[in-house]
Amino acid sequence: MDERPFGQDDLGRALFEGHPEAGIPGFARLRDDLLKDLVVAVNLLRGMAAGLVVTGDRYATAEAANTGIPYAQPCPEWLKDPEEYKPEPGPSGLPTTTPPPDFVSQAIWFLESVGFGATWPDADLDGVMRLRDAATALGRVVGDVQEQIAGQAGRATGAGFGPTTAAFGRAARVVHGEKGQLADLRRRCEHLAHCGQVAYDAIVKARWQFVASAMFVLTLMLLAKLLAPRLGPLLDVVVKKLLRAEGLALRIILLIIRQAALGAMFSGGLSAINQLFTTGDIDAAKLVRNMGHGALAGGLMAGAHAALPALLRRGGPAFTGLAEAMESATWERAFSRILAGGAVSTTVLATAGWASGAGWNWKHAAEMGFGMAVLSTGAALSSRAWPAPSYASLKGRAWKQSPAKRWHDVKWALGLLTITAPAVSVFALAKFAEDGKNPFFLQKRVGQFGREFQIAKGRSMNTTDGKDSSLGSSDSRRTRVGKVWTKTSLDEFVQMAYNVLYKSDMSVINDRPLLSATRQETIAALGPTLGPRWNEADLAGKPGMFGPFSNKILEIGLKPKTDAFDVQRGYTGIWHDRTASLHSDRNILWEAISAYMKRIS
Same-domain pairing of 489 and 537: yes
106 three-state secondary structure: helix
Report d(CA 141, CA 148) in Å as an integer.
11
Residue 115 within a domain: no
In which band, very low, low, confident or very high, does the pLDDT at 170 lie, cut at 50, 70 and 90?
A: confident
Q: What is the mean pLDDT of residues 215-228?
A: 79
Same-domain pairing of 256 and 355: yes
Domain count, the chain: 3
* DSSP 8-state symbol, 72: -
Is the pLDDT assigned to residue 306 strictly greater than 80? no
Residue 229 within a domain: no
Report d(CA 455, CA 513) in Å as an integer.
9
Same-domain pairing of 148 and 36: yes
> Which secondary structure element, helix H or strand E, spans residue 453, and what is its range?
strand 452-458
Residue 91 within a domain: no
**Domain membership of residue 560 as a residue range:** 399-600
Residue 544 contacts by C-beta under 8 Å, 6 or more apart in sequence? 506, 507, 508, 509, 510, 511, 512
More confident residue, 239 or 440: 440
Report d(CA 436, CA 454) in Å as an integer.
23
* Domain end among 367, 393, 419: 393
More confident residue, 293 or 313: 293
The pTM of this model reads 0.61
Same-domain pairing of 373 and 405: no
* Domain end among 372, 393, 414: 393
Same-domain pairing of 508 and 591: yes
As a whole number, the mean pLDDT across the chain is: 81
Same-domain pairing of 292 and 388: yes
Is the pLDDT assigned to residue 230 strictly greater than 70? no
Same-domain pairing of 366 and 460: no
In which band, very low, low, confident or very high, does the pLDDT at 247 lie, cut at 50, 70 and 90?
A: low
Same-domain pairing of 467 and 568: yes
Q: What is the mean pLDDT of residues 212-229?
A: 80
> Which secondary structure element, helix H or strand E, spans residue 422, and what is its range?
helix 403-435
The three-state DSSP-derived secondary structure of 546-577 is ECHHHHHHHHHCCCCCCHHHHHHHHHHHHHHH
Give 327-367 pLDDT, tens digit per residue. 666 677 777 777 777 888 888 888 887 887 777 888 778 87
In which band, very low, low, confident or very high, does the pLDDT at 473 lie, cut at 50, 70 and 90?
A: very low
Residue 140 within a domain: yes
Residue 94 within a domain: no
Residue 198 contacts by C-beta under 8 Å, 6 or more apart in sequence? none
Residue 118 within a domain: no
Give 367-389 pLDDT, tens digit per residue. 778 887 787 777 666 665 556 66
pLDDT at residue 471, rounded to an integer: 41
Is the pLDDT assigned to residue 30 strictly greater than 90? no
Same-domain pairing of 198 and 297: no
Residue 29 within a domain: yes
Is the pLDDT assigned to residue 472 strictly greater than 50? no
Q: How far is CA 45 from the centre of its chain?
A: 54
Residue 220 within a domain: no
Is the pLDDT assigned to residue 268 strictly greater than 80? yes
In which band, very low, low, confident or very high, does the pLDDT at 229 lie, cut at 50, 70 and 90?
A: low
Percent of the chain with pLDDT over 90: 24
Is the pLDDT assigned to residue 221 strictly greater than 90? no
Residue 517 contacts by C-beta under 8 Å, 6 or more apart in sequence? none
Is the pLDDT assigned to residue 585 strictly greater than 90? yes
Is the pLDDT assigned to residue 470 strictly greater than 60? no
Contact between 440 and 457 under an 8 Å Cβ cutoff? The reply is yes
* Domain end among 393, 409, 433: 393
Report d(CA 566, CA 571) in Å as an integer.
9
Same-domain pairing of 261 and 387: yes
Same-domain pairing of 486 and 546: yes
Is the pLDDT assigned to residue 456 strictly greater than 90? yes
More confident residue, 242 or 460: 460
Is the pLDDT assigned to residue 97 strictly greater than 70? no
CA atoms 561, 564, 567, 568: torsion sign: negative
Q: What is the mean pLDDT of residues 168-185?
A: 81
Give 39-79 pLDDT, tens digit per residue. 888 888 877 777 777 776 676 677 677 776 666 566 666 66
Same-domain pairing of 380 and 410: no
